């Protein structure tokens, strides 16, 4: 796909990986729709894209809320006249051991709130954004690309049962996108090796707890 003049939606675009992606695609001439919950971060990231000479617009949205996602993507289509790519990058962490034991006594455990918060954003958010973007791409009849970002942590990581479950879910969900729609006809999946990822991390970043040197898994679905 030629990036120049395409409309790319990026969730979690206010900082970290999301902002870095927005700036990278803006340097290649893409128009950027930035979605995030933090209005101040969004404003700063959006201005950086505008300064690169492309159209960029911020949308404050909670990706775990169905109505907000639908309204935001409707606004993107209205504002840009297209929706060519969505990158489902938004994610949070709320780490805790499932059960914490000290001297034979249970002294802590992951709360239901911690579990639900991460599942809602990192898994349900990807589901909602992918589904709503696919619907609009199909209606626009221009094709499109849905990119879901998972993590090597899907294989399990101490203190991250919520995060691992969510990222495993993203990877699994991405494999079944094509069979669940007659208009989603292809999928390419690649794992970013640690050497490649560390090289990417050596480039300037904006700084965030999510800027961790772990490989990401990228799943790509094509709307035809």
Active site residue ranges: 163
Contact partners, residue 66, CB within 8 Å, separation at least 6: 128
What tokens appear for 32 in the block? 């950027």
How far is 218 from 202, CA to CA, in rounded Å?
20
Sort residue 38 into left (φ over 0), alpha (ψ -120 to 50) or beta.
beta
- Rounded to the nearest angstrom, the gap between the alpha carbon of residue 42 and the centroid of all alpha carbons in its chain is 15
How far is 204 from 221, CA to CA, in rounded Å?
29
3-state secondary structure of 100: strand
How far is 97 from 209, CA to CA, in rounded Å?
18
Please give the angle made by the CA atoms of 114, 118 and 121, to the nearest 5 degrees: 140
Nearest partner of 169 among 93, 118, 99, judged by Cα: 118
How far is 11 from 141, CA to CA, in rounded Å?
23
Beta bridge partners of 146: 86, 221
Question: Which secondary structure element, helix H or strand E, spans residue 85, and what is its range?
Answer: strand 85-88
């Amino acid at each position: 796909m030629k990036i120049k003049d395409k409309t790319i939606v990026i969730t979690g675009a206010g900082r970290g990986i999301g902002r870095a992606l927005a700036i990278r695609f803006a340097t290649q001439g893409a128009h950027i729709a930035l979605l995030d919950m933090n209005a101040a971060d969004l404003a700063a990231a959006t201005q950086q894209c505008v300064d690169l000479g492309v159209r960029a617009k911020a949308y404050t949205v909670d990706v775990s809320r169905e109505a907000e996602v639908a309204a935001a993507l409707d606004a993107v289509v209205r504002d840009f006249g297209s929706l060519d790519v969505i990158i489902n990058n938004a994610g949070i962490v709320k780490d805790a051991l499932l059960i914490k034991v000290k001297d034979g006594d249970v002294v802590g455990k992951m709360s239901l709130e911690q579990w639900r918060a991460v599942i809602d954003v990192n898994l349900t958010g990807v589901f909602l954004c992918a589904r709503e973007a696919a619907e609009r791409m199909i209606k626009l009849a221009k094709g499109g690309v849905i990119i879901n970002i998972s993590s090597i942590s899907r294989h399990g990581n101490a203190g991250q049962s919520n995060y691992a479950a969510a990222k495993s879910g993203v990877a699994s969900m991405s494999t079944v996108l094509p069979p669940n729609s007659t208009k989603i006809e292809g999928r390419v999946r690649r794992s970013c090796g640690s050497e490649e990822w560390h090289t990417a991390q050596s480039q300037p970043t904006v700084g965030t707890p999510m800027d961790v040197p772990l490989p990401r898994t990228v799943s790509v679905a094509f709307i035809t």
